[in-house]
Amino acid sequence: MATKKTVIAFDLYGTLLSTESIAQELAKIYGEDKAKSLAALWRRYQLEYTWRINSMGEYKSFSEITRNALGHAVAEHELTLSAKDADTLMKSYDALHVFPEIPLALKLLEENGDRVEAYVFSNGTDEMVGNSINTSPELGPHAGRFKSLITVDGLKCFKPDRRTYDHLVEQAGKQGEASDVWVVSANPFDIAGSRAAGLQAAFIDRAGKGWIDRLEPNRNPSVVASGVDEAIKSILKN
């Protein structure tokens, strides 16, 4: 009798891949002193735009939102952005670096391949997510660790919309068994959305502050871990 595998879906940007590493590319255009701030603001507006457009019942692709958020961040710094530089910076999403613990996390997935069915679950488009994984210096060689890449582009909405988590459950073949599906994410909104949809969720708390989100105080993560590797270990103990 085949062993029932644990389904784990990993968020990509901010969980496996560090969007902070894009500051290196920003520094080539705007200088070291502004790069880190620009990177943080770019990420902030990238997420904020997805929430805004969800609330408005409209849709733009994550790639378009990411480009527009870059323009917002640059304008807020009272700088200019040429089309050429925008193209260059968008391409840098194809070569993001992973967080330090990810190589060990990938090793754990390999060692427990008979117990874990792993997915990537992202707001990005199919093309953007595929490029980001396959050309990431550290993640690309291990792309085969994931059964498939699940995106929300076909739904025309973003996390934490309930439909995105229902889509994940369906794609993983777990209809009616949402509580058997785990989402691993460093984004609090993703954790809250997962739990609201009935999934299990592991929050990656790299800052070591614990779960401090207060939108729904009684809906906590199933697991709080310092890194993705520790989250996998905790999930496998459940």
In this structure, the answer to whether residues 232 and 146 fall within a common structural domain is: yes
Region of 69 (left: φ > 0; alpha: ψ -120 to 50; beta: rest) is alpha
In this structure, the answer to whether residues 114 and 226 fall within a common structural domain is: yes
Q: Round to whole Å and give the CA distance between 132 and 32.
A: 24
Q: Round to whole Å and give the CA distance between 133 and 141.
A: 9
Q: Within its chain, how far is the Cα of 35 from the centroid?
A: 22
Number of domains in the chain: 2
Task: Confirm whether 75 is domain-assigned.
Answer: yes
84 Cβ neighbours under 8 A, 6+ residues apart? none
Domain carrying residue 37: 19-95
In this structure, the answer to whether residues 221 and 166 fall within a common structural domain is: yes
Domain end marker among 34, 67, 95? 95
3-state secondary structure of 116: strand
Task: Confirm whether 1 is domain-assigned.
Answer: no
Q: Tens digits of per-residue pLDDT, 19-56?
A: 888 999 999 999 999 999 999 999 999 999 999 999 99
| Residue whose structure tokens are 């990656």 | 204
In this structure, the answer to whether residues 80 and 128 fall within a common structural domain is: no
In this structure, the answer to whether residues 56 and 13 fall within a common structural domain is: no
Domain end marker among 46, 66, 95? 95
Q: Tens digits of per-residue pLDDT, 159-205?
A: 999 999 999 999 999 999 999 999 999 999 999 999 999 999 999 99
